[in-house]
Structure 1
Amino acid sequence: MSKSSSDAFDVIVVGGGIVGSSIAWGLAKLGQKVAVLDEGDDAYRASRGNFALIWVQSKGLGMPAYAAWTVRSARAWPGFAEELRQQTGFDLSLQQNGGFQLALSEPELETRAQRLRRLQDQPDMPRYGCEILPSEKIRAMLPAIGPQVVGGSYCPLDGHVNSLRLFRALHAGMQEFGTEYRPNHNVDRIECSNGEFRIHSAGRELRSGRLVLAAGLGNRRLAPMVGLDAPVRPQRGQLIVTEKTMPFLPHPIVTIRQADEGGVMIGDSHEEAGFDSDLRTQVLSVMADRAIRMFPVLAGLNVVRSWAALRVMTKDGFPVYEQSETCPGAFIATCHSGITLAASHALILPRWIVQGERPAKDFGAFSARRFHVPSTA
């Protein structure tokens, strides 16, 4: 094993997707010597399936702290995007002028309204202006909607970005700050003693004073090595991309967005299929049918690509952020909204990791200990 100084770092981040890259960028910005260990191309990368949304509405039912964390990140996104643009020259095409969730029947709209009421009725729930709108008001903002749209919800904080440029900017930015990015570095084991972590990867032993596990589904295997818990599971999501067309969708829909290049993305599946990332044409057809009912213009567009990817989901759908009690200095960051939370991961979490600055008074809600409550008989 090599034990040269080139393998010693202040912080090692395991995982080079959107979550890990956002955290690594923020750590390097604080002056830390950072290494990012990433798997090869055959990894189950949740980043492959991201829908590039910055999304607030619907977040936090059952955990208001998550709603507050999401709102905080959404509000930080304009400054974050501008900072990346100034550093790297990449324009992320941030569009944050509000987003919709549309309903195609009155019962569906009422279900949506009830969910929003339950969400907002929770104690300590932040207010962010989400409202139910009738079809005529939505049509004034989205003229291309079809006649089957009866209404929907709207939130002014919602938006989307070019996620490929975000990924490129994060990698360019963190490496400009001095971060070492090491692909094809699967982690075999992690040892902790005397305040130092020794990570065995790709035939080498790397050392660091702090460790961040941001490896998505891989966190389930890695977390116990440092006394942490990552109760995550894969959830399959399928996506469709159409050919480029003239702009017709000035606001993103939770399941449909028109990218800045003109293509339309459709993503509307949440499948419990284990580690199976194969496409299912019957699911794609249902997704396409619903999208066309919302926006009839889509019926005339060709599909140029479709694929499936695996989301990283905890038992309750909320993130896990925690520092190990048995191996202090080891942290875990697991979530399924890496784009929405990128600003918080880049600007807020690193101060917690390096300086011990608690991100929020209710941040303990994100501990995996919430899953350890014994069930009553």
Structure 2
Amino acid sequence: MSTAKQVIVIGAGIIGASIAWHLTKAGARVTVVSASGAGGIATPNSFAWINASWGNPETYFRLRIRAMAEWERLANELPGLPLAMCGGLCFDLPADRLEAYAAEHSSWGYGIERVGSEQAARIEPSLADLPEFALHVAEEGVAEPVATTQALLADAERRGARVVTGTVDRLTLSNGKVTGVVVSGESKATDEVVIAAGAGAPAIAATAGIELPIETPPGLIVHSRPYKKLLNGLVLAEKLHMRQTAEGRIIAGSDFGGGEPGENPQADASALFEAMKAMLRGADGLELDFHTIGYRPTPADGFPIVSRADGVGDLYIAVTHSGITLAPAVGLFAAREILDGERDALLAPYALSRFAQ
């Protein structure tokens, strides 16, 4: 493996941070460039659920379940990472659809337990209205998004990486290859560029003639003031997903990505917060602190783009909505592909070239 390759990673969210950390650990000379500093734009507004749930095809499930295992590996390699595999209690679908989902994912090896109201009460004793039927996955969890990103970048810097704050004006090219990045008017030469800039990725890629089919749907999430412990893990109820952060805030959205902000986001946030309080016993003193509206970088078909860019050399793209779940696997696989040319089979369906077919 090369120990001298220079790589500029554009984006300091969870995906960019993971790629930068894995590249640095493998011996590359890495510079991270971000206009917003550590954490990026989408990452601070993430619900931060680590899972392999939902109605995805088995190929995507396999990538996500591998990523969950890579979180455990990453936590062992970087002690103190704010990771909690706290489990998720899910009852946001009708019973027949929950059962169909459980049957399918159980057949794939997902650790789903079917629970009734008594078991649900033991898992989450503060729930005011207990479901008669729910699913519990003990291996699901959360990584506090900003703190995790900061920890990855800080350790990458300790290993020799540089983190630069600035606006990417454009990529520079020569003979069909990317040769560098112009950052706030200053040219920076490099051997390879990684675009991991989330919602900002299409504009940067366009300067190299690359079209990224990315959508950025908004999602509103409410954040309480820090409060006594009420939740043990993730609660995925109908039209309300919530969890309690490491600092005691309860955060919630109408789903894990947050719902549409509507014409009056403040009113919608207040209504969502009151619905959350109503679901919890012992929440009388819970107060709304603020709400966020995140813009989720989502490829047009809903699946990740993690690959080199066809037609332009020395340019790698990594954009996905499921940033928190996928981050450690994407970081590991991207570093291997960039430095050794080895593409992991789990990434096979997620090349940018699929959109040209």
TM over 0.5: yes
Aligned residue runs from structure 1 range 354-373, under 5 A = 354-360=339-345, 362-373=346-357
Partners of 1:277 and 1:180 in 2: CA distance: 40
Q: Return closer, same or farther for 1:95/1:321 CA change in 2, 3 Å cut-off.
A: same
Number of residue pairs matched by the alignment = 348
State which of 73, 80, 94 in structure 2 corresponds to 1:79. 73
Alignment of 1:29-68 (within 5 A): 29-40=25-36, 45-58=41-54, 61=56, 63-68=57-62
After superposing the two structures, state which structure 1 stretch, 73-82 or 260-269, moved more: 260-269
> What secondary structure sits across from 1:298 in the alignment?
coil
* 2:189 is the counterpart of 1:207: yes
Contact kept? 2:171, 2:181, Cα under 8 Å: yes
Match status 1:101 vs 2:95: no
Give the secondary structure class of the aligned counterpart of 2:290. strand
Q: Which digits, 9 at most, give the CA deviation of each residue in 1:296-322, with x for residues without a partner?
A: 333431112222121111223211112
- 2:163 is aligned with 1:169: no
Could you say which residue in structure 2 is the equivalent of 1:12?
A: 8
Q: Structure 1, residues 148-203: CA drift from partner, whole Å, max 9, x if none?
A: 53332222220113323212211211111211111023233432437552322211
Deviations 1:352-372 (A, max 9, x none): 121112222x42211234344
Distance in 2 of aligned mates of 1:215 and 1:183 = 13
Q: Which residue of 2 aligns with 1:28?
A: 24
Q: 1:327 to 1:194 in 2, by over 3 A?
A: closer
Q: After the TM superposition, which of the residue ranges 315-324 and 146-155 deviates more from structure 2?
A: 146-155
Residue in 2 aligned with 1:256? Answer: 242
The one-letter amino acid of 1:136's match is E
Distance 1:370 1:136, change over 3 A: farther
* 1:1-377 pair list within 5 angstroms: 10-40=6-36, 45-58=41-54, 61=56, 63-85=57-79, 91-103=80-92, 108-117=94-103, 120=105, 126-147=108-129, 149-193=131-175, 195=177, 197-226=179-208, 228-254=210-236, 255-268=241-254, 280-360=265-345, 362-373=346-357
CA distance in 2, matches of 1:210, 1:174: 18
Deviates more, 1:194-203 or 1:49-58: 194-203
Name the CA distance, whole Å, in 2 between partners of 1:312 and 1:332: 13
Structure 2, unmatched stretches of 5+, are none
8 Å contact from structure 1 (residues 102, 153) kept in 2? yes
Aligned-partner Cα distance in 2 for 1:290–1:110: 25
Unmatched 5+ residue regions in structure 1?
1-7, 86-90
After TM superposition, the score normalised by the length of structure 2 is 0.87
SS in 2 for 1:136: helix
CA contact (8 A) 1:44 1:217 kept: no
Please report the TM-score for the alignment, with normalisation by the length of structure 1.
0.83
